[in-house]
A and B are shown apart, each in its own frame.
Chain A
Amino acid sequence: GEDVEQSLFLSVREGDSSVINCTYTDSSSTYLYWYKQEPGAGLQLLTYIFSNMDMKQDQRLTVLLNKKDKHLSLRIADTQTGDSAIYFCAENRYSSASKIIFGSGTRLSIRP
């Protein structure tokens, strides 16, 4: 299976919070990233967290890192229709600093 795992789909109501989860396998990972991909476009870096942090907040985005369980989450507060996209979790492994390992992406859809 994937080294970085995410659920494929998430559907939330407009205005609610979205929580996208990710698990990774390499405890040597230094940085963990969240990217957003809109239809037909490239990946846009949303936020990232260093492995010695537990939480990072940036406006509507909150990243939580549980290093013991190798679990990363992205919370989007007050989800809007413009948040509809695919969200990728990615890890930068210390053992392979030249490459970033991506998850398969979570498609977030917003219902009215």
Chain B
Amino acid sequence: DGGITQSPKYLFRKEGQNVTLSCEQNLNHDAMYWYRQDPGQGLRLIYYSQIVNDFQKGDIAEGYSVSREKKESFPLTVTSAQKNPTAFYLCASRDRDRGGNQPQHFGDGTRLSIL
């Protein structure tokens, strides 16, 4: 079955620590996205990548970093510079063909908390 897998489901971070959230997709989608969702709020775009070895900052990129070395993988690192990392993180992917109008498909999310 094709889909997007995020791991781990729950993650805890200590002060001063970097943590990496995994996102893997087997949908053969070119574009991938990372969002942050805070309680009772909508989605805010952190980073996105339209093609391998290329990515762009979203609306709240500070304190985060990404890489896109493979088409199927788009890991997100939450660095120690992100002072309020507690949130639900969602990864999405999208087929860029046919005029860029395809919907995004989402993983099940990773909930990150501070210890």
- A residues within 8 Å of B by Cβ? 2, 8, 30-31, 33, 35, 40-45, 48, 50, 88, 92, 97-100, 102-105
Q: Which of the residues B99, B104, B109, B111 comes within 8 Å of A100, measured between beta carbons?
A: B104
With A41-B109, A42-B107 in contact, do A97 and B42 touch (Cβ < 8 Å)? no
With A42-B90, A42-B108, A98-B31 in contact, do A33 and B42 touch (Cβ < 8 Å)? no
Q: Which of the residues B40, B42, B100, B109 comes within 8 Å of A40, measured between beta carbons?
A: B109
Complex CA gap A88/B41 in Å reads: 11
Give chain A nearest CB distance to B70 CB in angstroms: 20
Residues of the B chain whose Cβ atoms lie less than 8 Å from the Cβ of A40: 109, 111
Complex CA gap A8/B4 in Å reads: 28
Complex CA gap A2/B105 in Å reads: 22
Contact with A along B72-108 (1 / 0, CB 8 A): 0000000000000000001010100001110111111
With A98-B50, A103-B42 in contact, do A45 and B105 touch (Cβ < 8 Å)? yes
Are A104 and B101 neighbours in the complex by a CB distance under 8 Å? no
Give chain B nearest CB distance to A25 CB in angstroms: 15
Are A2 and B100 neighbours in the complex by a CB distance under 8 Å? no
Residues of the B chain whose Cβ atoms lie less than 8 Å from the Cβ of A35: 106
Are B90 and A97 neighbours in the complex by a CB distance under 8 Å? no
Complex CA gap A112/B100 in Å reads: 42
Contact with A along B40-52 (1 / 0, CB 8 A): 1111010010100
With A44-B106, A45-B103, A48-B103 in contact, do A102 and B42 touch (Cβ < 8 Å)? yes
Give chain B nearest CB distance to A61 CB in angstroms: 15
A-B contact pairs, 22 of them (CB 8 A): A33-B103, A35-B106, A42-B4, A42-B6, A42-B90, A42-B106, A42-B108, A42-B109, A43-B92, A43-B104, A43-B106, A45-B103, A88-B42, A92-B100, A98-B48, A98-B100, A99-B58, A100-B103, A102-B42, A102-B43, A104-B42, A105-B41
Give chain B nearest CB distance to A50 CB in angstroms: 8
